[in-house]
Amino acid sequence: MPTDLLDIFTGLADTSDILTGDLSQYSVDGVAPRIAIAPRDVVGVSGVLRAASASGLAVAPVGGGTKLFLGNRPKRLDVVLGLRRLDCLLEHAPGDLTVTAQAGVTIEKLQSEVARHGQLLPLDVPLPSHTTLGGALAVNLTGPRRLAYGTARDVVIGIRVVDAKGEATKAGGRVVKNVTGYDLCKLYVGSLGTLAVIVEASLRLAPMPLEERTAVGIFPSIQDACDAALDVMRLGPRAMTMVDARAGSKLAGLASPPVGQQAALMVELTGRPAAVTRRQSDIQATFLGRNAVSVQVLEKQESRRLWPAVTDLGWDSQRSPQQLTVRFGVLPSRVAELCRAVQEASPQPGVSLGLVAHVGHGVVRATWWPANGGPALDTKAMALLVAELRRRATPLGSYAIVERCPAAAKEGLDVWGEGVEGLDLMRRIKEQYDPQGTLNPGRFVGGI
Amino acid sequence: MNRASLVSALEAVVGKEYVFHHPDDLLVYESDASVDRHTPGIVVVPASSEEVARVVHLAFELGLLLVPRGAGTGLSGGAVALGENTIQVALTRMHRVLEVDTVNQMAVVEPGLVNLDLTTAVSRYGLYYAPDPSSQRACTIGGNVAENAGGPHCLRYGTTTNHVLGVEVVLEDGSVVWLGGHSRDLPGYDLTGAFVGGEGTLGIATRVVVRLLPAPEAIRTFLAIFDRMEDASAAVSGIIAAGIVPAALEMMDNLAIRAVENARPVGYPTDAEAVLLVEVDGLREEVEGEGEEVGRVCQSLGARQLRFADDPKERELLWAGRKGALGALGTIAPNYYLLDGVVPRTRLLEVLQRVKEVERQHGFPIANVFHAGDGNLHPCVLFDERKGEAHRAIEAAGAILKACVEAGGVLTGEHGVGIEKRAFMPLMFTPQDLAAMERLRDAFAPGHRFNPGKVFPEGATCGEPQPTPTSSGLPADAWV
């Protein structure tokens, strides 16, 4: 470890907070930091940021590290700031349906705590056992249940951050309704740690439904599955996701289209048993009317096994390093069209494509990986594919964000895409909150 | 540029008949539903996004201030034009529904569209727009966006911010930018979320993309009358604890009950301490089940009376007392100062008791008519301006807001900070917290040309005006 860095931080952080060992384990897209520090409290976080910004160092805040591959390669990286040790669950107020916790608490821990009171945290992020609250908010990734609950932006009611200079501030509160001052929670959520470091958040909770079931329809085509999905939107499902045969094969046989069929549509029904039963029969009829070859109903236990697997599709860390995952967002009515465009743009045989489409909110993920023994897409082929996807997605009103690809492939492409609307304003925001570019420089849109 | 040439320059943009500059014409625009009053320099009423942009650009070139205005129903002074020669931009001519997309359940509208007119326009498709501020017959979507307006039904469905997908905004220099849009999770910062609730200080919204919801298949409304406030509060907690988040959960206290019975009787027993209104909606089976549960909770807590309604006409009757409550307070005192604090719902009873103490200590009757389900209190401090009580009424209000914040709550749940509560901001926020908010304004509107004097306390200056009380400037049938 360079001694100059130690000099900078020893005065401010407890030396035992400085992580030892091979620093490459804290790399972001292959860029290793020069030091890694995991403070045990907010004062420690402030100290690190104050020292780093005073010395012109670049800092990457890290939670569970499950989604560090998001974003462009860091322009600079000196300090990895670990938040995992800020792991206090500060308050669960069951009667208020709210919870307040530090950033390093995992989503799974929060879920199990609030579940004891028959409640749930309405954020079904991928890999909840390793994903921290702070990380989940910073990336604002959502799962299928956002259809009912919204995203982190709808769930967060208050936030505490430490800014680039080490100043701790808060916004919002611990109550479910609040318009006191600007809603900075919205600004920090999804900002990928480029504006401030989230150290604490208050969130709204939801009561656990009395009954949960999932209807799974197998369809001969993606078009049929998407049409069926649009038909059942009015029944207020909690989640509604379509998978193609390849993605479906990863769902432990719970929703896997058999040979010859192209899509499975899963619709999660929750609420009072009588209401669930009625929805279920409506859905069965609708599916059959839309050419479903079969409709199966998963009861509570199986249904509960299915959805976490759906949420994790494409995110498991064991996946090939050659994986490419691209996220699209379109109007629900154009999901089928988008899926078709993605399939058409997809390259040679030997590379597998899996499609996961949350039809109700129009978010679609496509993942490519080498098929058994087949050649991987090289970085040049990836860049060409992404360009082709963008060419086809733009007329459908969609972006194409590269969520995951080998670090080397990022040299040849901007993962967020060009021409982001409002980029000037976003740059001005970055300039206001982090003028020195201390926080995650280069990783966000437009090189922010 | 002198005033006359400014007027002609503006007339060249929006047309002669849509620039108001004679003192008589400006009177209409000097206040909103708060009592803060200030006459704008000039009022322009543009017809399109392009005209708004040209007006803003002109003001930018000349270094003038701008205040956007919808219907002027705001309760915190948000649409009152502070500053000298401020140009007020009234968006009321821009009231079109530009697009309704029934499949994707969304609409694109202009900011001057009246809230209820949106629901009316889409109801034939079985859809509706969920945020329902009490002034929904008059207030505009643009104003709702500025204030992040709520309403009784936001308990279950969320406030305006949860229903806005995108906004076209005219920035300080007259440039036009889209924040958000039709697709979800666009790359970059959530500028839409940051803009909503900006109280008109960040830019002027000229188009809004909103989410629509399918109209519920069934609705059941309960009216429960309680002898003791403790029991009514316990019922609020009990319903939430039963795993039910009702569409609405409203409460009125004894003083409000008596006011209603004085003014336009609906049959409340005047010795009851609390009336609770609970509404559940959804599929028939859902409503049936939740309804039973709500009834059980209320009865087990000793509700003296429990009525319910399933059809719109009867529902209106049950809501009549609640909706008429604010107007009815006029029968008790000529003025009231209406508060909007929020507390964790589990601390409602405790804070209501603090409100009682304030009532005793300060010597003003205080009525409570409020959104109990989300802990959003609306204490009304009743006073008589003619007796010079305004100043002391504000002190009482300040004591209540302080109690809200001490109980873990906030200053305002749906009315906004505006002029009215800016001096109270330091109760909740440190100078550093406020500085972080100011950075957002510095990014959106570095010249601070939009809606000056709102939201932020006027820091170092010692001439900070006291908040002014909201008097019965509201229409008689207004409710909050």
pLDDT by residue (tens digit) across B76-98?
999 999 988 899 999 999 999 99
pLDDT at A130: 95
Residue contact B429–A170, C-beta within 8 A: yes
pLDDT at B473: 46
- What pLDDT band is residue B471 in, cutting at 50, 70 and 90? very low
Query: Is B133 within 8 Å of chain A by CB?
Result: no
Nearest residue, CB atoms, B179 vs list A151, A168, A422 = A422
Residue B462 above 60 pLDDT? no
Q: Which of residues 60-99 of B touch A (CB under 8 A)?
A: none
pLDDT at A65: 93
Which domains does chain B show, CATH number per domain? 3-90 (3.30.43.10), 97-214 (3.30.465.10), 216-330 (3.30.70.3450)
Left (φ > 0), alpha (ψ -120 to 50) or beta: where does A290 sit?
alpha
Residue contact A397–B183, C-beta within 8 A: yes
Query: Is B285 within 8 Å of chain A by CB?
Result: yes
Mean pLDDT of B254-262: 96
Q: Which of residues 221-260 of B touch A (CB under 8 A)?
A: 237, 240-241, 243-245
For residue A277, what is the domain's CATH number? 3.30.70.2190
Q: What is chain B's mean pLDDT, rounded?
A: 93
pLDDT at A374: 73
Any residues with CB less than 8 A from the CB of B264 and at least 6 apart, and which? B320, B324, B328
Domain boundary among A207, A237, A260: A207
Residues A337 and A292 in one domain: no
Residue A307 belongs to some domain of the structure: yes
Residue contact A399–B186, C-beta within 8 A: yes
- With CA atoms as reference, the chain A residue closest to B433 would be A169
Residue A242 belongs to some domain of the structure: yes
How many other CB atoms sit within 10 Å of the CB of residue A4?
A: 9
Q: For residue A350, what are the domain limits?
A: 324-412
8 A C-beta contact, residue A238 and residue A269: yes
Which residues from A are below 8 Å from B437, CB to CB?
Answer: 171, 181-182, 184
Residues A287 and A378 in one domain: no
Its sign, for the CA torsion B405, B407, B410, B414, is: negative
Nearest residue, CB atoms, A183 vs list B197, B343, B442 = B197
Any residues with CB less than 8 A from the CB of B282 and at least 6 apart, and which? A236, A271, A275, B216, B217, B218, B290
pLDDT by residue (tens digit) across B9-22?
999 999 999 999 99
Q: Which two tokens stand for residue B15?
A: 């047309």
Q: Which two tokens stand for residue A131?
A: 């994903």
Query: Is B350 within 8 Å of chain A by CB?
Result: no
Residues A155 and A238 in one domain: no
Residues A249 and A191 in one domain: no
Choose the mutation target among A156, A182, A330 for the interface with B, i.e. most B CBs under 10 Å: A182
Residue A392 belongs to some domain of the structure: yes
Residues A193 and A215 in one domain: no
Residue A12 belongs to some domain of the structure: no
Q: Report the range of poorest mean pLDDT among A60-64, B287-291, B470-474.
A: B470-474
For residue A355, what is the domain's CATH number? 3.30.70.2740
- What pLDDT band is residue B470 in, cutting at 50, 70 and 90? very low
Nearest residue, CB atoms, A175 vs list B240, B410, B432 = B410
Residue contact A425–B437, C-beta within 8 A: no
For residue A186, what is the domain's CATH number? 3.30.465.10
Query: Is B171 within 8 Å of chain A by CB?
Result: yes
Domain boundary among A160, A180, A207: A207
Query: Is B118 within 8 Å of chain A by CB?
Result: no
Place of tokens 């993309």: B209
pLDDT by residue (tens digit) across B109-163?
999 999 999 999 999 999 999 999 989 999 999 999 999 999 999 999 999 999 9
Residues A264 and A156 in one domain: no
Q: Which two tokens stand for residue B99?
A: 């697009």
- What pLDDT band is residue B467 in, cutting at 50, 70 and 90? very low
Residue B464 above 60 pLDDT? no
Which residues from A are below 8 Å from B421, CB to CB?
Answer: 180
pLDDT by residue (tens digit) across A179-228?
999 999 999 999 999 999 999 999 999 999 999 999 999 999 999 999 99
How many other CB atoms sit within 10 Å of the CB of residue B70?
A: 31
Residue contact B177–A425, C-beta within 8 A: yes
Residues A389 and A356 in one domain: yes
Nearest residue, CB atoms, A361 vs list B159, B184, B425 = B184
Torsion of CA A160, B442, B81, B397, to 10 degrees: 20
pLDDT at B463: 37
Residue contact A175–B344, C-beta within 8 A: yes
- What pLDDT band is residue B466 in, cutting at 50, 70 and 90? very low
Q: Is A343 exposed, middle or buried, given 0-12, 13-18 or 19+ CB atoms closer than 10 A?
A: middle
Residue A420 belongs to some domain of the structure: no
pLDDT at B479: 54
Residues A116 and A164 in one domain: yes
pLDDT at A2: 57
pLDDT at B109: 98
A215 to chain B, minimum CA–CA distance in Å?
18
Residues A384 and A362 in one domain: yes
- With CA atoms as reference, the chain A residue closest to B172 would be A425
Q: What type of residue is B94?
A: M
Choose the mutation target among A177, A238, A364 for the interface with B, i.e. most B CBs under 10 Å: A177
How many domains are there within chain A? 3
- B259: closest CA among B327, B158, B184? B327
pLDDT at A347: 81
pLDDT at A12: 67
Residues A127 and A163 in one domain: yes
8 A C-beta contact, residue A54 and residue A99: no
- The three-state secondary structure class of B180 is strand
Residues lower than pLDDT 50 in chain A: none
ipTM: 0.96
Find residue B379's DSSP bridge partners: B368
Mean pLDDT of B323-350: 92
Residues A175 and A225 in one domain: no
B71 to chain A, minimum CA–CA distance in Å?
20
Query: Is B165 within 8 Å of chain A by CB?
Result: no
For residue B184, CA distances in Å to A203, A238, A414, B196, B228 come to 21, 17, 20, 16, 47
Residue contact B103–A397, C-beta within 8 A: no
d(CA A382, CA B35): 62
Residues A226 and A305 in one domain: yes
Residue A237 belongs to some domain of the structure: yes
- A386: closest CA among A361, A370, A405? A405
Residue contact B415–A180, C-beta within 8 A: no
Choose the mutation target among A175, A282, A402 for the interface with B, i.e. most B CBs under 10 Å: A175
Domain boundary among A207, A237, A268: A207
Residue A418 belongs to some domain of the structure: no
